[in-house]
Structure 1
Amino acid sequence: MIISILFILFLGLAWGFAVGAGFVAFLAVLGIIPRLSQLTKTMAYIQGYEWSVVAGAAAGGWMSLRNTVLHLPKIAAVPIGLMDGMFIGLLAAALTEVLNVLPILAKRIGIAEQIIIMLMAIVLGKVCGSLYHWLVFVHL
């Protein structure tokens, strides 16, 4: 019994390290966080971005393992959803910028001058979608 528990703990830890290393490699190789700070012109806060990714991944992993339920009023979903949407939207925007998806698309459809408007539309769409998810589907 003890050996099987230790084996399961070892496997969980190993898989966690593997997924974490893959996530860090993904962010580091593509340069997502530096590009995100360039897009928002907040290079001075790059360590804050890095620590927020680490803290968010650790908190999310811990909360998913514990099946945590937050007993908060529904109005608390508004700022949480806004912050979630902003982070996911900015991360998605930085990823598409790094991969040059939007510049290529903008050139092909002839709106290369309005790429910032297209980028902000994606960000606002992510914010609105996240807020809708938090207000409608998440039961606090």
Structure 2
Amino acid sequence: MIISMLFIIFLGLSWGFAVGAGFVAFLAVLGIIPRLSQLTKTMAFIQTYEWSVVTGAAAGGWISLRNTVLHLPAFFSVPIGLMDGMFIGLLAAALTEVLNVLPILAKRIGMAEQILIILMAIVLGKVCGSLYHWIFFVDQ
């Protein structure tokens, strides 16, 4: 029994370290945080960005391991949803900017002149998807 518990602890820690190392490598190799601070013109706060990512990853990992439920009033879901959306949007924008995804995609599908249409389709799709999720699935 003790050996199986130690094996489970070892596997959990190993997988956690592997995922953490992959996350750090993803952020470091692609330069997401420096590029995000360049896009928002907040280079003075780069250390705050780094600590925010570390704290958020640690808190997210801890919360996902537990069955945590926050019993907050419904009106708190709007600012929380806005902050979540802004974070995901800025991270996606920085990743897209770093990888030059949109220009390559536009050239490959033959829409290089209509890159604004592609960008607006992505934005409207994310907005509609988020609204659909928040309207129909939040209080279930």
Shared fold, TM over 0.5 = yes
Residue in structure 1 matched with residue 78 of structure 2 by the alignment: 78
**Match for residue 110 of structure 1 among 107, 110, 113:** 113
1:32 partnered with 2:32: yes
Gaps of 5+ in 1: none
Q: What count of residue pairs does the alignment treat as equivalent?
A: 137
Aligned-partner Cα distance in 2 for 1:68–1:128: 28
CA contact (8 A) 1:82 1:127 kept: no
Q: Which has the higher contact order (CA 8 A, sep 6+)?
A: 1
Task: Provide the residue aligned with 2:94 in structure 1.
Answer: 94
Which residue of structure 1 aligns with residue 63 of structure 2?
Answer: 63
User: Cα offset for 1:50?
Assistant: 1.1
Q: Is the 8 A contact 1:36 1:94 kept in 2?
A: yes
Deviation at 1:104, TM superposition (A): 3.6
Which segments of 5 or more consecutive residues in structure 2 lack a partner in the other structure? none
The AA in structure 2 aligned to 1:109 is A
Please state whether the residue corresponding to 2:11 is helix, strand or coil. Answer: helix
Q: Partners of 2:23 and 2:136 in 1: how far apart?
A: 29
What percentage of aligned pairs have identical amino acids? 83
2:9 — aligned with what?
9
Q: Which residue of 2 aligns with 1:133?
A: 133
TM-score normalised to structure 2 length: 0.82
Match for 1:82: what amino acid? L
* Runs of 4+ deviating beyond 2 Å: 102-109, 121-136
Per the alignment, residue 41 of structure 2 pairs with 41
How does the TM-score come out when normalised to structure 1?
0.82
